[in-house]
Amino acid sequence: MDIIQQIVSGDVRTIARILRDIDDELPSSRSVLQRLYPHTGKAHVIGFTGSPGVGKSTLVDQIAGFYRKESKTVGILAVDPTSPFTGGAILGDRIRMQRHFLDPGVFIRSLATRGQFGGLSKSTNDMVNVLDAAGKDVILVETVGVGQDEVEIANSAHTTVLVTIPGMGDDIQAIKAGIMEIGNIFVVNKADREGSRKTVRELMNLIEINSRRRNGDDWEPQIVETEAMKGRGIDKLYETIEKHRTFLQATGSEKWREVVEKRTKIQLMGALRDEAFKAVLERIEARGDSIDELVRRIVDRELDPYTAVEQIVDKGLR
């Protein structure tokens, strides 16, 4: 069987291996991705973001359970940070997803950021495409949760769930400062804790303030209170996620397409940027020059950075 057919038919070992090849940037993985692309576009991609310790993995675990009850297949990508000192990583999100380990309808993959900023691994979008082509109905992406730098997920997901817990003042500040727009659904987890009502009120105020910027037919962000560990509020969260999907996919509505186009554009721009940058670097090296050498000359004032860039881009792209 051809590798594409194996992936599309859901062969676990093949899927697992291609994900690794993508993560390791093997050149062979590109052709697989090219051939897989026609098979993508069916899955509902849901991103879960929020600071470390707010219970994202547990929520993902619980939501996966709800989709399984509806007989939908689930792919999970859980991202943990790579140590900047050693390049190694400990990927521990699966600990909270154990009940799905033996369910063939759930595929879980842990990945490390490998130096990528923005709370996702560089390969996340490509990995989402593989799981999409492999026929997963729903793909849940759990970000690292490194404070404010979480905007990337919105470029990967159709629905973005922003998770916080009571008493995290910094989160509210971050939401105010800009990540408000990315959240379609706000979850206040550990809602049995003191301060839960206050957090919900603050979020409601923020949504209210932001409503001026929304058009009449835009989605109004929803707030859901959960106690993920006890499984409370998950039904409500599931319903709200589904409501968002139905909203995007409503007949006659262009919302789904808008989201997909926006995502595709950002991903395309990103890929272009990466490729163009790579090409420029390669050509600099091909000419026997190096970035370090350029840096030395700039620091010694033999060259100014503006001219340097002009020259490289000129040379590189000619």
Partner 1 sequence: MANARKLRILVAKPGLDGHDRGARVVARAFRDAGFEVVYTGCHQTPEQIVSTAIQEDVDLIGLSILSGAHRYSFPRVIELLKENNAEDISVIGGGIFPMEDIPRLKEAGIKEIFEPGAKLGEIIEWVGTNISPRMDADESGSARVSG
Partner 2 sequence: MGKQVLSESALDRVEKEHAEWLEEYRKALKKVPERLSRFSTVSDLEIKPLYTPLDIENKDFFDNVGFPGKYPYTRGVQSTMYRARHWTMRMFAGLGNADDTNERFHYLINHGETGLSTAFDFPTLMGYDTASPLARGECGKCGVAIDTLEDMGRLFADINLEEVTTSMTINPPASVMWAMYIANAEKEGYSRKKLGGTIQNDCLKEFIAQKTLMLPPEPSLRLVTDTVEFGTREVPRWNTISISGYHIREAGSTAVQELAFTIYDGITYVEEAVKRGLKVDEFAGRLSFFWNSHIDFFEEIAKMRASRRLWARLMKERFGAQDPRSMLMRFHTQTAGCSLTSQEPYNNVVRTTMEALAAVLGGTQSLHTNSLDEVYMIPSEQAALIALRTQQIIAEESGVTNVIDPLGGAYFIEALTDKMEEEAVAYIRKLDELGGMVAAIERDYPQMEIADAAFHFQQQIDAGEKTVIGVNKYASERPDLEFVLKIDDEIERQQIERTERFKEKRDKAGFQKAMDELRRRCEGPPCWENNVMPALVDAVRAGATEQECCDLYRDVFGTYRDPGTF
Binding residues for partner 2 (CB under 8 A):
52-53, 58, 90, 92, 95-96, 98, 190, 229-231
Rounded distance between C-alpha atoms, residue 230 and residue 259, angstroms: 33
Q: Which does 282 bind (CB under 5 to 8 A by kind): partner 2, partner 1, none?
A: partner 1
Instruction: Return d(Cα 100, Cα 65) in angstroms, integer.
Output: 8
Question: Which listed range, 6-14, 194-202, 203-211, 225-233, lies at the site for partner 1 (CB under 8 A)?
Answer: 6-14
Distances, alpha carbon 121 to alpha carbons 115, 163, 174, 297, in Å:
8, 19, 21, 34
Residue that has been written with the tokens 């379609």 in this structure: 184
Helix (H, G, I), strand (E, B) or coil at 166: coil
Strand-pair category, 74-80 with 44-49? unpaired
Nearer to partner 2, 126 or 227 (CB): 227
Which position among 7, 8, 19, 60 is part of the footprint of partner 1 (CB under 8 A)? 19
Q: List CB contacts of 133: < 8 A, sequence separation 6 or more.
A: 7, 8, 36, 37, 39, 40
The option from partner 1, partner 2, none interacting with 29 (CB < 5 to 8 A, set by class) reads partner 1
Whichever of 52 and 178 has its CB closer to partner 2, that residue is 52
Of 230, 257, 278, 315, the one binding partner 1 by CB under 8 A: 278
Residues 79, 58: Cα–Cα separation, whole Å: 14
Say which DSSP state 39 is in: G
Q: Which is nearer to partner 1, 52 or 92 (CB)?
A: 92
Q: Among partner 1, partner 2, none, what does residue 20 contact (CB within 5–8 Å per kind)? A: partner 1
For residue 287, state whether it binds partner 1 (rule: CB under 8 A).
Answer: no
Judged by CB, which is closer to partner 1: 142, or 225?
Answer: 142
> Cβ contacts of residue 28 below 8 Å, gap of 6+?
21
3-class SS at 113? Answer: coil
Radius of gyration of the chain (CA): 21
Q: Which does 178 bind (CB under 5 to 8 A by kind): partner 1, partner 2, none?
A: none
Contacting partner 1 (CB under 8 A), which of 10, 20, 72, 105?
Answer: 20
Q: Phi/psi of residue 281, each to 5°?
A: -60, -45
Determine which residue in the list 86, 301, 306, 314 makes contact with partner 1, applying CB under 8 A.
Answer: 86
Give the one residue of 17, 72, 245, 283 binding partner 1; rule: CB under 8 A.
17
Angle 44-46-48 from CA coordinates, rounded to 5°: 170
Binding mask 96-135 for partner 1 (x = CB under 8 A): --x--xx----xxxx-x-x---------------------
Q: How far apart are alpha carbons 283 and 315 in whole angstroms? A: 8
229 is in the binding site of which of partner 1, partner 2, none (Cβ under 5 to 8 A by kind)?
partner 2
Residue 291 as a binder of partner 1 (CB under 8 A): the answer is: no
Which tokens is 59 given?
């929520």
State the Cα–Cα distance between residues 216 and 220, nearest whole angstrom: 9
The region of 91-99, 175-183, 224-232, 251-259 touching partner 1 under the rule CB under 8 A is 91-99
Q: Of 22-61, which residues contact partner 1 (CB under 8 A)?
A: 23-29, 32
Other residues' Cβ atoms within 10 Å of the Cβ of residue 213: 9
91 vs 298, which CB is nearer to partner 1?
A: 91
Question: Partners of 232 in the beta sheet?
Answer: 227
Give residues in contact with partner 1 (CB under 8 A). Answer: 1-3, 6, 12-14, 16-21, 23-29, 32, 82-83, 85-92, 94-95, 98, 101-102, 107-110, 112, 114, 278, 282
